[in-house]
Amino acid sequence: MSQFKYSVGPWNVHEGADAYGPATRKTIPFEEKIKRFKEIGFDAVQFHDDDAVPNMNELSESEIIEEAKKVKALLDKYDLKAEFVAPRLWMDQRTIDGGFTSNSEKDREFAMWRAYRSIDIANALGCDKIVLWLAREGTLCYESKSPVQATKRLIDAINKMLAYDENIKILIETKPNEPIDRSVCPTIGHAMATSAASIDPSRVGGLLESAHAILAGLDPASEIGFAMAMGKLWGVHLNDQNGMKFDQDKSFGVENLRQAFNQIKVLVENDYGKNGEYIGLDVKAMRTQKDEGSYKHLENSLKIAKMLEEKALRFDYDYQAKCVAERDYEALEMYVMELLMKG
């Protein structure tokens, strides 16, 4: 029996299109996806604002809420919760230069409109978390934005969201680059500092994605640990990544099993989930996979996470203490390798 509850987003079952080529799999309707999510063993669904209300830019504020309520009814039908809503601030013509940190005042206003609507949608879906993946908040041309002003604009946008709804929590999903070159919030440390600078640090925390930490040249377990030490790890996106290249969103644990083990271990040791947090699996199927393989990466990631949880629970802390006392880290390292490699 796992101590964790798991979540997934509809974008984690996708058609296989990439920057260099078209779709390789057929589109699966939203309801079919969430039905399968429940069957696979997920407890909650994650949303972008327009995953919940696809044509939201054409709707009035009350119509958006009505549409979101229909999605809530679908979630109830399959006994699933909503974990968070994330404003999708990277697809629109008005967010080409970023949203909250855009150099255009009109575009910043549009970004705030989407942020407020995301809060309305979260309320309609029965969740209190807004995730900010700050896709285009940064620069391609370094001299185009002041890093000081961009950071202050981000804090200002977060403050406006906190003031709009006194119950909402903001989770900054940090990522150092892609699609932007230099992000204003590249690591969990930046998220924690942004939280501290906000009008209500108790409602601003972080979401750590394994692949994003690796892209920053950092260890995901250490990023998780840092946020947990601050009491501010309110979400994770576990996945894997082969080095510092494009964001791969590979199945959890398939590239670096020991690094994956240490992510689960730090979550287990520090009782992640005790306040209702979910383990999100932000993984994507390889482009080569056929229609029938549309969910395999999710099934595999969940299975690997659960197997690693079992290993973490078997971790011999007495032996670890003995190795530490003797400063025999070779023995400790070999113990970990055997734990992972033996059945």
Residues that bind Mn ion (CB under 5 A): 209, 237, 282
Q: How far is the CB of 12 from ligand XUL (least distance, A)?
A: 8
Select from Mn ion, ligand XUL, none the partner in contact with residue 153, using the beta carbon and a kind-dependent cut-off of 5 to 8 Å. Answer: none
Q: Does 209 interact with ligand XUL (rule: CB under 6 A)?
A: yes
- Binding partner of 86, given ligand XUL, Mn ion, none, CB within 5-8 angstroms per partner class: ligand XUL
CB of 44 to ligand XUL, least distance (A): 14
Q: Which has the closest alpha carbon to 181: 97, 242, 109?
A: 97
Candidate residues 42, 47, 133, 278; the one interacting with ligand XUL per rule CB under 6 A: 133
Which class for 60: exposed (0-12), middle (13-18), buried (19 or more C-beta within 10 A)? exposed
Site string for ligand XUL, 164-203 (x = CB under 6 A): ---------x-x----------------------------
Considering only residues 299 through 338, tell me which ones interact with ligand XUL, judged by CB under 6 A: none
Of residues 253 and 323, the one with the C-beta less far from ligand XUL: 253
Residue with smaller CB distance to Mn ion, 120 or 209: 209
Q: Smallest distance, Å, CB 131 to ligand XUL? A: 6
Q: For the CB of residue 236, give the shortest distance to Mn ion in the complex, in Å.
A: 9
Q: Give the shortest CB-145-to-Mn ion separation in angstroms.
A: 24
- Between 42 and 133, CB nearer to ligand XUL: 133
Nearer to Mn ion, 137 or 209 (CB): 209
If binding means CB under 6 A, how many residues of this protein chain bind ligand XUL? Answer: 9
Residue 263: closest CA among 221, 228, 313, 303 = 221
Residues that bind ligand XUL (CB under 6 A): 48, 86, 133, 173, 175, 209, 237, 247, 282
